[in-house]
Amino acid sequence: MPNKSIFLLWLIALFSIGALPATGMAVTTNQVNSLPASVYALERIDPKNGLDDNDLVPVDSIIGSAHFVALGEAMHTSGGFHDIRFRIIRHLIRDKGFRVFALESNRLMSEPLIDFIDSCKSSSEIDQKQLHGALDSIYPVFASETMKDMVTWICQYNSQNPSDTVSFTGFDIQETSRLSEAISRALKVTQNEFLLTGPLKDIQRCAMENRPEEVTLQSEQSCSAKISTILQFISKPNELDLFRNDLELLRLNLRSLRARIHLNYLNTLGKARLPEAYQVRDQAMADQLLTLKSIAWQNRRVIIWAHNAHIEKEGLMDSFPSGSPFAGFKNLGQYLSEALEIDYKAIGLLAFQEEVNWEGASAICNIAHTYPNASSAEYHLRLLDSPYLIVDTSAMRQNRLGFFDSAAEYEYSQGSKGNLVRQFDGLIYLQNSQAMIPISSPACPIVPDWPKPNVGGTL
């Protein structure tokens, strides 16, 4: 009886590794070609290996008719997360009508990539030098060979579909000077006597006085008050001769600059104010996306690329234990979930082993982070002995049945602890996420025989 033999082997393996956590997780058999309810095999993550996406049907079911879909990652610069997101994004654009790609990078600073993708409407010929320059405008942790391949594919798609193109945007606000410059240009266009006197100079002065290393409580409060005065003035009917979209962008940039200056100040206070700073940034990022939705995207479907900690639906109160300084603070996903309700879906990405080999600013070299603890979600997904999986947590939420207990908390994603069934609508699991290949920052020298999976976590 082969099935019985396999089941016995699975039990032996289970008890030799460790017991299930006392969280109510259901014990499931791991028979050949059999997975627990709401868990599905994913055939591959490599986007270059064929175009058949039948194995992504569970992802389509998770998303449904939602207009905003966020794809996360447990660790920046781990390349397996880049690969599977490219594969899913290509499928969503090609087969499901998604037409906006939004990346966790500064909106104004990423304009070279915005313009590059917009220019793809007229030609499928890719200027590699120009492409590399455009990718330099996004955060280096995302500037990988996979990102380059994905942008190339989007360009080719746009050239073949000139009347139905994909657009790109960043949505972060960590760009004081760029925001000040954009606001100054918009104020000059108004030709309004009041705005061209005090407020214009105030904005320029605020940007100079509130750099991250120079901001003080007095300068932050002064600039916040001045920006609020400008916002109040331009809210008056018929006060400015601007098109609606231009006026809304001016308001957005003013709110973003105010948030950025406040963020700069909070960052000077150290770790004690880090959770508050996190919330300020995420609220401002949500403001970016929701404002762009109202003035530019209307009913277009949007794909968001960001870290798991940003996209979770119930904020930081559920990702950290009650004693943590992060507990109780909101994040991007919670703001979007409250505004969009069922029109927002969050899919987290997890891996049992996350490889990083990226020099960057902090020389994160030759790291292979694993999850050996029986309290982690990654540990239990690994027991299913499948290289890639899709987990429909939304189905578990509705049915209260499935691999993850809908009432339990698990550790996951490097330091988070919470209810995965509530935080995410779905999960993508990789047994191993290989290090990304960077194009903007050099990779570290490869260590012989690296990486070696270990039982203790980080190598």
Residue 195 contacts residue 232 (beta carbons within 8 Å): no
CB-facing half-sphere around the CA of 395: CA atoms within 13 A? 20
Q: Which of 190, 191, 222 is nearest to 205 (CA)?
A: 222
Cβ(209)–Cβ(223) below 8 Å: yes
Residue 326 near residue 357, CB atoms below 8 Å: no
How does pLDDT run along the chain (459 residues), one tens digit per residue? 444 333 332 222 332 333 333 344 443 443 435 899 999 999 999 998 777 899 999 999 999 999 999 999 999 999 999 999 999 999 999 999 999 999 999 999 999 999 999 998 766 678 889 999 999 999 999 999 999 999 999 999 999 999 999 999 999 999 999 999 999 999 998 888 889 888 999 999 998 888 777 889 999 999 999 999 999 999 886 667 778 889 999 999 999 999 999 999 999 998 888 889 999 999 999 999 999 999 999 899 999 999 999 999 988 655 555 556 666 789 999 999 999 999 999 999 999 999 988 776 556 777 888 998 899 999 999 999 999 999 999 998 877 667 888 888 899 988 788 899 999 999 999 999 999 999 877 667 766 666 654 433 332
Strands 344-358, 388-391: pairing kind: unpaired
Q: Does 47 sit behind a cis peptide bond, omega within 30 degrees of 0 on the bond before it?
A: no
d(CA 342, CA 64): 10
Residues 196 and 187: beta-carbon distance below 8 Å: yes
Determine the Cα–Cα distance for residues 423 and 23; give it in Å rounded to an integer. 17
Q: Would you say 151 and 117 are in contact if contact means Cβ atoms under 8 Å apart?
A: yes
Of 143, 151, 177, 212, which Cα lies nearest the Cα of 360? 143
pLDDT of residue 406: 82
* Token pair recorded at residue 245: 């979209």
Please give the pLDDT value at position 393: 95
Rounded (10°) angle between helices 332-340 and 274-292: 40
pLDDT at 7: 32
Whole-angstrom distance, CA of residue 238 vs CA of residue 254: 19
Three-class secondary structure of residue 208 per DSSP: helix
3-state secondary structure of 22: coil
Largest alpha-carbon pair distance within the chain? 88
